[in-house]
């Protein structure tokens, strides 16, 4: 079992309150996922040539005492890159105005235990072990601002309880996916992707789905075409919620084994595994509430 | 008649269910209203008295499960397993219901004004279900006794491996399940259907429905089938 939540605000003023509205949604899914939690927030993009990485130091020897400012000095010394770091506990967002591959290669070489959570111009990603309330507090989720987000609470079934196996998973740039369910053919998908040079960080089944869909997007499929390929290739139980810089997308397996409910008003679209995570939202009593159908694609534009 | 109200934003669901289980006298016909249900699970489960419980908002999983004698009205949607294993009484969902609505119900009447999700009436054992909207795939799977009325459409594999339950459907069927077949409506069917629609407060013409029941070809092992191994 796991919990998923998503929120996309239509009213610009609500972008300031995105995190505050979301935290009760995430905490509402604690019974479905008490072991880990995570969040991807999409906000205004950085300039064309700039990128940001969300980094997690919890797996390094220093943990929350990781020397983040030493990292930016070393990037200046080694690569002559001016990077800005924004630190929250064992997590930091590193921004710079060069191609990200060079920075990521350097990080893997010099800080192999530093986990790269996401890459892009719009996405910030946080995930860690702990209850949703603990993780939300650790990274001050209530202060998050942006146009849309994807969140997850985990009750692990398919791989160990570790920060890197928490959701959301990311692949490529500005793409993330959360999953409630379990895939029965993740290793088939891995074997299909590996000859294309696609590397996996973990043994988690959701990571296979995430990298499969991002691979299709990178190969030029529109989101809807990639999701259709997903229906054909992925076997098992899933409700998937995905985020891109301007979209939230949701699909459910043909048996609708895992739940999802949507509440839509003029101000927002909110998605959760169960209504109890939506009950606190402003105006929800008059929202259009519905259950997404299996094997249908639901895409909302930010 | 005394009216009681429980606000689930202010008091616990356990307190309410405990009241409904322990503090009612036999034959208690009081009227209980529940406000701010906020999608909580197990609202008004296991009732055993002819009370009326009105839930004002959306209910979570297993609402009115195992109902006996009571009338439960949900002015909103219901999550997975509403009225599952109902024995008697009435459960009325004014909005939509999620998966497994009325699963294994032995008796009573479940009315869903909106759509029902997948596996509605799975393993029905004698209860009646009337759905104003459409039902998802695998509805009526292995239903043994009782009746399902579907005013809208059905997804895949409707009535798969049916026993003696009967399905009446007004709209389209994406596909019938194994051993389910359309049959001619009899006068007895029209009478039964008119009564069910009337009880559910739906005014469709019984003549617009079709009957689906078991072809009973799975009742006995066919030793001649698929002998080439």
Residue B228 pLDDT class (50, 70, 90 cuts): low
The string of pLDDT tens digits covering residues B24-66 is: 888 889 999 999 999 999 999 999 999 999 999 999 999 999 9
Residues A156 and A249 placed together within one structural domain of the fold: yes
Does residue A220 lie in a domain region?
yes
Task: Tell whether A35 and A115 lie within a shared domain.
Answer: no
Q: Do A256 and B117 touch (CB under 8 A)?
A: yes
> CA B158 → CA A277, B166, B196, distances in Å?
32, 11, 20
Contact between B172 and B154 under an 8 Å Cβ cutoff? The reply is: yes
Residue A67 sits in a domain of what CATH number? 3.30.70
Res. B192: pLDDT tops 80: yes
Neighbour tally for A65: CB within 10 Å = 10
Mutation site, A3, A274, A288, interface B, largest B CB count within 10 A: A274
Are residue A91 and residue A61 in the same domain, yes or no?
Answer: yes
Q: Are residues A7 and A54 in the same domain?
A: no
Average pLDDT for B102-121:
98
pLDDT above 90 (res B223): no
Q: Do A291 and B96 touch (CB under 8 A)?
A: yes
Question: A59 and A112: one domain?
Answer: yes
CA distances from B97 to A101, A263, B102 (A): 49, 15, 10
Cα B133 from Cα B95, distance rounded (Å): 10
Closest partner residue to A275 (CB to CB) among B39, B118, B138 is B39
Percent of all residues in chain B with a pLDDT value above 70, rounded to a whole number: 97
A vs B: CB pairs below 8 A: 51
Determine, for residues B99 and A254 on separate chains, whether the beta-carbon distance falls below 8 Å.
Answer: no
What is the least distance, in Å, from the CA of B121 to any CA of chain A?
15
CA distance B157 to chain A (A): 12
Whether residue A285 sits in one domain with residue A160: yes
Query: Does B1 have pLDDT greater than 90?
Result: no
**Residue indicated by tokens 């402003």:** A282
The pLDDT, as a whole number, for residue B229 is 56
Q: Please name the helix (run of DSSP H) or strand (run of DSSP E) that holds residue A72, with its range, or none.
A: helix A68-79
Judge whether A162 lies within some domain.
Answer: yes
Is A266 contained in some domain? yes
- A109 & A179 share domain: no
> Which token pair is B46?
């296991």
Assigned domain for A275 exists: yes
Residues in chain A where the model's pLDDT stays below 70: none
Q: What is the pLDDT of residue A72?
A: 97
Question: How many residues would you count in chain A?
Answer: 302
Query: Do A62 and A200 lie in a common domain?
Result: no
Q: Is A2 a catalytic residue?
A: yes
Is B39 in Cβ contact with A276 (below 8 Å)? yes
Say what the pLDDT of residue B221 is. 81
Range of the domain at A58: 50-121
pLDDT of residue B3: 65
The total number of structural domains that make up chain A: 2
> What do you get for the CA distance between the two ends of chain B, in Å?
69
In a domain, A135, yes or no: yes
pTM: 0.95
Are A139 and A238 members of one domain?
A: yes
Q: Considering A63, A96, A121, which residue would you say is the last residue of a domain?
A: A121
Q: Does pLDDT of B224 surpass 90? A: no
Is A201 part of any domain?
yes
ipTM, two decimals:
0.93
Round to whole Å and give the CA distance between B55 and B46. Answer: 15
Query: B80 to chain A, minimum CA–CA distance in Å?
Result: 8
Distances (CA, A) of B142 to A256, B66, B133, B177: 19, 19, 21, 10
A178: domain CATH number is: 3.60.20.10
Contacts of A243 (CB under 8 A, 6+ apart): A6, A40, A42, A123, A148, A149, A150, A168, A175, A176, A177, A249
Residue A164 placed within a domain = yes
Q: Calculate mean pLDDT across residues B207-229.
A: 87
C-alpha dist (Å) from residue B217 to A295, B161, B165, B180, B212: 31, 9, 15, 9, 14
- A66 with A214, same domain: the answer is no
Mean pLDDT of chain B: 96
pLDDT in tens, B135-168: 999 999 999 999 999 999 999 999 999 999 999 9
Quick check: is A126 in a domain? no
Q: Which of B58, B78, B100, B175 to mutate to test the interface with A (most CBs of A within 10 A)?
A: B58
Mutate to test the interface with B, among A29, A273, A275, A287 (most CBs of B within 10 A): A275
Kindly determine whether residue A277 and residue B58, on different chains, have CB atoms separated by under 8 Å.
no
Same structural domain for residues A297 and A162? yes
- Per-residue pLDDT of A115-150, as tens digits, reads 999 999 999 999 999 999 999 999 999 999 999 999
Tell whether A26 and A170 lie within a shared domain: yes
B137–A276 CB contact, under 8 Å:
no
């Amino acid at each position: 079992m796991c919990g998923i939540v998503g929120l996309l605000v239509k009213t610009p003023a609500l972008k300031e309150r995105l995190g505050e509205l979301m935290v009760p949604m995430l905490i509402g899914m604690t019974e479905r996922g008490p072991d880990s939690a995570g969040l991807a927030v999409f906000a205004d993009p950085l300039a064309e040539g700039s990128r940001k990485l969300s980094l997690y130091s919890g797996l390094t020897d220093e943990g929350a005492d990781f020397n983040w400012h030493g990292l930016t000095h070393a990037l200046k010394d080694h690569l002559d890159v001016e990077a800005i770091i924004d630190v929250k506990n064992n997590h930091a967002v590193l921004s710079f105005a060069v191609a990200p591959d060079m920075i990521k290669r350097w990080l893997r070489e010099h800080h192999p235990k530093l986990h790269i959570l996401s890459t892009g111009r719009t996405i910030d990603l946080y995930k860690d072990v702990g209850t949703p309330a603990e993780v939300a507090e650790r990274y001050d989720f209530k202060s998050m601002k942006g146009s849309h987000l994807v969140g997850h609470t985990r009750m692990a079934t398919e791989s160990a309880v570790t920060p890197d196996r928490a959701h959301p998973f990311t692949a490529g740039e500005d793409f993330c996916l959360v999953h409630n369910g379990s895939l029965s053919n993740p290793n088939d998908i891995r074997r299909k992707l590996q000859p294309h040079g696609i590397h996996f960080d973990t043994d988690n089944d959701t990571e296979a789905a995430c990298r499969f869909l991002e691979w299709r997007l990178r190969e030029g499929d529109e989101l809807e075409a990639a999701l259709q390929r997903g229906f054909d290739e992925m076997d098992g139980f899933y409700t998937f919620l995905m985020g891109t810089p301007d979209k939230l997308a949701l699909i459910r397996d043909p048996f609708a084994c895992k739940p999802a409910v949507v509440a839509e008003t003029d101000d927002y679209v909110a998605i959760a595994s169960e209504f109890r995570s939506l009950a606190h939202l402003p105006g929800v009593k008059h929202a259009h509430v519905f259950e997404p159908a299996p094997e249908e694609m639901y895409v909302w534009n930010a | 008649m005394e009216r009681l109200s429980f606000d689930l934003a202010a008091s616990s669901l356990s307190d309410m269910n405990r009241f409904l289980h322990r503090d009612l006298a036999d034959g208690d016909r009081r009227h209980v209203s529940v406000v701010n249900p906020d999608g909580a699970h197990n609202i008004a489960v296991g009732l055993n008295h002819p009370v009326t419980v009105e839930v004002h908002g959306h209910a979570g999983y297993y609402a009115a499960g195992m109902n006996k004698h009571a009338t439960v009205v949900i002015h909103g949607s219901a999550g997975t397993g509403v009225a599952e294993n109902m024995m008697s009484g009435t459960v009325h969902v004014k909005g939509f219901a999620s998966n497994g609505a009325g699963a294994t119900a032995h008796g009573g009447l479940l009315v869903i004004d909106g759509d029902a999700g997948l596996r509605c009436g799975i393993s029905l054992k004698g209860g009646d279900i009337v759905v104003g909207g459409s039902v998802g795939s695998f509805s009526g799977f292995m239903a043994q006794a009782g009746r399902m009325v579907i005013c809208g459409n059905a997804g895949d594999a409707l009535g798969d491996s049916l026993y003696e339950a009967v399905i009446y459907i007004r709209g389209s069927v994406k596909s019938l399940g194994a051993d389910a077949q359309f049959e001619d409506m009899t006068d007895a069917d029209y009478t039964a259907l008119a009564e069910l629609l009337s009880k559910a407060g739906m005014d469709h013409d019984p003549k617009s429905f079709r009957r689906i029941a078991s072809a009973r070809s799975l009742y006995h092992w066919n030793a001649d089938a698929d002998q080439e191994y």
